[in-house]
């Protein structure tokens, strides 16, 4: 299949160069101009897509080659891009930084080449003059790439013409504008990168201010024209979609609030295509699960920041403990895994949690088991049969005294360990999964939900 998807990829010379600021500014400016826009983030990050969608009004997803594979990434880009007049993908780290230290597999460059997407490189000009041209020449000549231009960050209006001429003369690349410092658009940071959009009281005003400046300082017409040069995107529709037939809808409770907010849009849409009616609830404020829930999803987020409030919601904790122990199909990862355990310990103290599974979590202040892994099921469970495999990633500043032993995890260095508390009705563990990495995991979960709805699951909690 082929689709015409006008698209660009905003990459960076490295983390901290300003690619997220530039991407947010561009998306905000496009929204203000009335352009229907789709947005993606390279890699597994949750927070930047939340800014894209919640703040900028741009439907957003993730393109992760390690988690999902090349054909699925092309399909997800095409599916999301069909909804828009222009698609903007934000890179990850530096353009060539991938899953390994010495190669660019799964990098923004890999994605741009795979999808034939023109790249605009963000470069921070602070403290540089002629050296900037040397840096950009290094990027242009290092490996095969689709770099088609540059946007300058921390650049003043007065200096932009000189930088643009320098870059054109020394590298042959055009500049598509610049962003100056925009104090009224600054946001804070936390250990996972940018803090979530929901936590910033005046975020819309900040992004509107950034978009106004971007609309004035970026070459919007030039960027639109560049996006139009992208060739038709070739892709194949995943086979599993041809096997799904429309049918009954089954209510699945999904935790969505400030404490539980890390979800992959496309993974949730896959569950919906398979029959899930996702009903959001808040473990912070709701006393009960949504009526009639036939399944439960507890995603990642920041439960450690809201541990006291979560612990104080004893009515809901009791209901969830009863539901999980009674066999309600439950899929919990990272923060959701911590929440289902016995307790979370932070600098403020120890806070009892649902107590539905063994294990006590504690905040460590440093990354634990960070990075990509591959999981292999050691026995049958909610998501797969023994031997089932899926790729995953971990990014958490906490640890537990009971990881579980339902899966074997293997990292890129070949180190392995056991992880995941599982049963025929449960998956709970630190690893974040992308269900498009193995759609059979989604189908297995929904099969359990359907059996529960039809009274075949042996559920005892209702």
DSSP per position, 58-82: -EEEEE-HHHH-HHHHHHHHHHHHT
Q: Which two tokens stand for residue 267?
A: 């993974």
Measured between alpha carbons, how far is residue 284 from residues 54, 290, 301, 353 in Å? 20, 14, 12, 12
Whole-number pLDDT of residue 74: 98
DSSP per position, 139-154: HHHHSS--EEEEEEES
Whole-number pLDDT of residue 193: 47
> In whole angstroms, what is the distance from residue 291 CA to residue 42 CA?
37
Whole-number pLDDT of residue 190: 43
CA 144 distance to own-chain centroid: 27
> In whole angstroms, what is the distance from residue 166 CA to residue 156 CA?
15
pLDDT, tens digit, 9 for 90 and up, residues 348-372 = 999 999 999 999 999 998 888 888 9
Whole-number pLDDT of residue 191: 34
> In whole angstroms, what is the distance from residue 310 CA to residue 322 CA?
17
Secondary structure (3-state) at 232: coil
Report yes or no: 94 and 14 within 8 Å, Cβ to Cβ: yes
Measured between alpha carbons, how far is residue 405 from residues 40, 109, 284, 424, 433 in Å? 34, 36, 29, 14, 17
Whole-number pLDDT of residue 452: 96
Report pTM: 0.94
Whole-number pLDDT of residue 369: 82
Nearest Cα neighbor of 257 from 309, 187, 190, 209 is 309
Measured between alpha carbons, how far is residue 253 from residues 249, 396, 440 in Å? 13, 24, 20
Q: Which two tokens stand for residue 165?
A: 């001429």
> In whole angstroms, what is the distance from residue 56 CA to residue 102 CA?
35
391 backbone dihedrals φ, ψ, rounded to 5° = -85, 155
Report yes or no: 407 and 429 within 8 Å, Cβ to Cβ: yes
Report yes or no: 116 and 146 within 8 Å, Cβ to Cβ: yes
Please tell me which residue in 155, 217, 294, 334 is annotated as part of the active site: 334
For the question of residue 392 being annotated catalytic, the response is: no
Domains (range + CATH), the chain: 2-234 (3.40.50.300), 245-453 (3.40.50.880)
Residue with tokens 């594979």: 69
> In whole angstroms, what is the distance from residue 457 CA to residue 415 CA?
37
Terminal C-alpha separation, the chain: 46
> In whole angstroms, what is the distance from residue 232 CA to residue 39 CA?
18
pLDDT, tens digit, 9 for 90 and up, residues 94-149 = 999 988 777 889 999 999 999 999 999 999 999 899 999 999 999 999 999 999 99
Residues lower than pLDDT 50 in the chain? 190-194
């Amino acid at each position: 299949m082929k689709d015409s998807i006008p698209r660009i990829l905003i990459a960076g010379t490295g983390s901290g160069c300003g690619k997220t600021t530039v991407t947010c500014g561009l998306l905000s400016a496009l929204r203000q101009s009335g352009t229907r826009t789709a947005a993606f983030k390279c890699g597994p990050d949750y927070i930047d897509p939340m800014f894209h969608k919640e703040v900028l009004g741009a439907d957003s997803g993730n393109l992760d080659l390690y988690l999902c594979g090349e054909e699925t990434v092309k399909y997800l880009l095409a599916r999301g891009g069909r909804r828009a007049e222009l698609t903007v993908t934000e890179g990850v780290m530096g353009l060539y930084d991938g899953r390994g230290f010495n190669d660019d597999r799964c990098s923004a460059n890999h994605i741009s080449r795979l999808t034939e997407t023109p790249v605009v490189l963000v470069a921070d000009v602070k403290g540089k003059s002629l050296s900037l041209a040397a840096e950009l020449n290094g990027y242009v000549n290092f490996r095969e790439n689709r770099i088609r231009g540059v946007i300058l960050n921390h650049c003043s209006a007065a200096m932009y013409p000189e930088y643009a001429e320098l870059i054109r003369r020394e590298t042959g690349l055009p500049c598509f504008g610049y962003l100056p410092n925009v104090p009224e658009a600054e946001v804070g940071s936390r250990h996972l990168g940018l803090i979530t959009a929901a936590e910033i009281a005046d975020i819309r005003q900040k992004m509107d201010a950034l978009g106004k400046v971007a609309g004035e300082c970026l070459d919007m017409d030039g960027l639109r024209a560049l996006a139009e040069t992208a060739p038709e995107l070739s892709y194949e529709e995943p086979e599993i979609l041809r096997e799904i037939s429309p049918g009954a809808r089954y209510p699945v409770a999904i935790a969505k609030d400030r404490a539980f907010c890390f979800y992959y849009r496309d993974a949730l849409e896959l569950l919906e295509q398979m029959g899930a009616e996702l009903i959001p609830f808040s473990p912070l404020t709701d006393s009960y699960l949504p009526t009639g829930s036939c399944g439960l999803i507890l995603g990642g987020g920041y439960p450690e920041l809201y541990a006291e409030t979560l612990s104080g919601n004893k009515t809901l904790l009791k209901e969830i403990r009863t539901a999980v122990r009674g066999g309600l199909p439950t899929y919990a990862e990272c923060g959701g895994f911590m929440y289902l355990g016995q307790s979370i310990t932070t600098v403020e103290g120890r806070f009892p949690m649902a107590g539905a599974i063994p294990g006590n979590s504690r905040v460590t202040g440093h990354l634990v088991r960070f990075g990509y892994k591959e999981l292999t099921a050691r026995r049958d469970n909610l998501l797969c049969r023994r031997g089932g495999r899926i790729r995953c990633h971990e990014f958490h500043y906490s640890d537990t005294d009971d990881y579980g032993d339902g899966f074997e995890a293997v990292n890129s260095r070949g180190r392995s360990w056991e992880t995941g508390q599982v049963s025929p009705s449960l998956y709970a563990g630190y690893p974040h999964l992308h269900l498009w990495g193995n759609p059979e995991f989604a189908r297995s979960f929904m099969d359990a939900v359907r059996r529960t709805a039809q009274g075949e699951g042996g559920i005892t909690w209702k």
